[in-house]
Structure 1
Amino acid sequence: MEGTIPNPPNTRIAVVTGGNKGIGLEVCRQLAAAGITVVLTARDEKRGVAAVEKLREAGLSDVIFHQLEITDAPRSPSISRLTDFLKTRFGKLDILVNNAAIGGVEYVQDPVDSSLTSNEKFGGMDQLQRLEWMATAVRETYAAAREGLQTNYYGTKHVIEALLPLLQASSDGRIVNVSSEWGLLRLINNEELKQELNDNVEKLTEERLDEILDTFLNDFKAGEVEAHGWPKHFSAYKLSKVTLNAYSRILARRHPELRINCAHPGYVKTDMTLQSGLLTPEEGASNLVNVVLLPEGGPTGTFFALGQEAPFV
């Protein structure tokens, strides 16, 4: 499928991670509908190919599948193959949407259980009630927490590092890291750390973020998450988004030639939320695509919530 689309030199090229379902698939759909050539990536080749076929059947022909497992190490085959393909085929990358993520928890029930529609299951519940229900539907284990950080933070970071030269080859390179309101600093009950990640972000380094994540995992293993002020409930997921936000700000400062932003799509009905969300994947994706397609020279190092600029706290 990789060699079937001729692209004029001025075509904008986008890569979307975790693009085979949910928000990611809808981001691919909306970007392709805007005339952008989209490389839809997913770790499962069969599901990724099926997603591309679905989009093509809907009349969106400028979509290509490429396999990608973002938890591969920095110089591993999966990330390297994608990088080499983009370099050979396009010589640049204009847009990178880092959507792939996991919950950092073990689900007590099957995330794709469709025995009841979400309207039947959650009708009458507000957002807080749905989130409280979510907390009863998962277990937080050390193994799941570690995997969550490896995927959501380190996996995303490895993809960015590999694709950075191709983004710099674009005249208007953009990165949108899919974040969450659960990545806001208000969820941390350690004032010193909160200040370091916000007010003192100009001095923050990637090495310091590594130290923070290591400390969190040690505290998690010791059962001392709350005692040390880490976020409660879905702790690893929340911290993965907190640190991804901080890393995005480091990158934006380091690479002013690029537009690097974080975007919260909203509380969306997906497998990760056990379909408990308030927004459809189409609505959530639209909130991300609005950030992707901001006018040239727009903000960088910024957090967007539901398509609007918002504080990191």
Structure 2
Amino acid sequence: MEGTISNPLGTRIAVVTGGNKGIGLEVTDASSIARLAEFLKTRFGRLDILVNNAAVGGIEPVDDPSFGPKPVGEQFDGMDWHQRIGWMYKNSRPTYSTAKEGLQTNYYGTKHITEALLPLLQSSSDGRVVNVSSGFGLLRYFRSEELKQELNDAGNLTEERLDELLDTFLKDFEAGAPALEARGWPDEFASYKVAKAAVNAYSRIMARRHPELRVNCAHPGYVRTDMTRNSGLLTPEEGASNVVKVALLPSGGPTGVFFAMGKEASFL
């Protein structure tokens, strides 16, 4: 969706993907992205802030009777982070279709909309890109040290190599759990973790390539959303505030950085 943010120096033009209102952008549809780019070019001639927030879980929700009734709302009270995540995993099923959808939306959607809007961001005097990431995108979840090192090599990693790695992941996913384990991919919520790690790596590539922009990642926290089946610890407003902090950093601030709940953190 498109909107404006007021500040003492004037009005900033911002686009936030993943909303259920606004211009109806579909991040996996090239024609939808092209229409957005044309709309922004015609109406504003620039874009100051892009927040890539569209995401899916990469899993198929199910209810496991052996785990008891589905907790709703206050029934999550008393459950810590690990218990809530455990409930999510127990009540989901990873499939090749959902894994592929996860990569297409979470990584390629972010990449394609950023590419399409890049000229408009460069037309801004202070263009910013905030890619909403996750704690699950940290490299500690990869079982292969080689994969960790390659994805953390911000100075040499390329988009082409990222594409190759994601293609390999999907092939291994389709082959089954032994192939995923042998290659050292993450375990639970594998597609989501791989996609968000790729988003982090892509952000660092873009920050290196476009020093005129501020390109950062923001982990908003474990938020109550449809994707988390309302199991999160934070309200949507609390999660959004952690992203807004990154979007509105002072001019000349950091770029190529991972922010966890508003504070600089490690990609590892």
Q: Find the partner of 1:80 among 34, 50, 65.
A: 34
Identity of aligned residues (%): 69
Q: Hey, what's the Cα distance between the residues in 1 that align with 2:209 and 2:71?
A: 48
Q: Find the partner of 1:70 among 27, 30, 33.
A: 27
Q: Is 1:18 equivalent to 2:10 in the alignment?
A: no
Post-superposition offset of 1:91? 0.2
Kindly report which structure 2 residues correspond to 1:67-216, keeping only aligned pairs within 5 A, or say none: 67-72=24-29, 76-109=30-63, 117-120=72-75, 122-198=76-152, 200-216=153-169
Q: In the alignment, what sits opposite 2:192?
A: 237
Per-residue deviation, residues 58-106 of structure 1 (Å, max 9, x unmatched):
xxxxxxx21211011xxx3211110000000000000000000100111
Post-superposition offset of 1:196? 1.2
Post-superposition offset of 1:116? 6.0
Structure 2, unpaired ranges of 5+: 3-8, 64-69
Question: Contact 2:100–2:170 (CA<8 Å) still a contact in 1?
Answer: yes
Structure 1, unpaired ranges of 5+: 3-8, 21-47, 49-64, 110-114
Letter in 1 for 2:169: F
Root-mean-square deviation (Å): 1.4
Q: SS in structure 2 opposite 1:104?
A: coil
TM-score (norm 1): 0.79
Question: Contact 1:105–1:145 (CA<8 Å) still a contact in 2?
Answer: yes
Q: Is 1:302 equivalent to 2:241 in the alignment?
A: no
Letter in 2 for 1:157: K
Post-superposition offset of 1:226? 2.1
Q: In the alignment, what sits opposite 1:291?
A: 246
Q: Hey, what's the Cα distance between the residues in 2 that align with 1:80 and 1:197?
A: 30
Letter in 2 for 1:207: E
* Number of matched pairs: 253
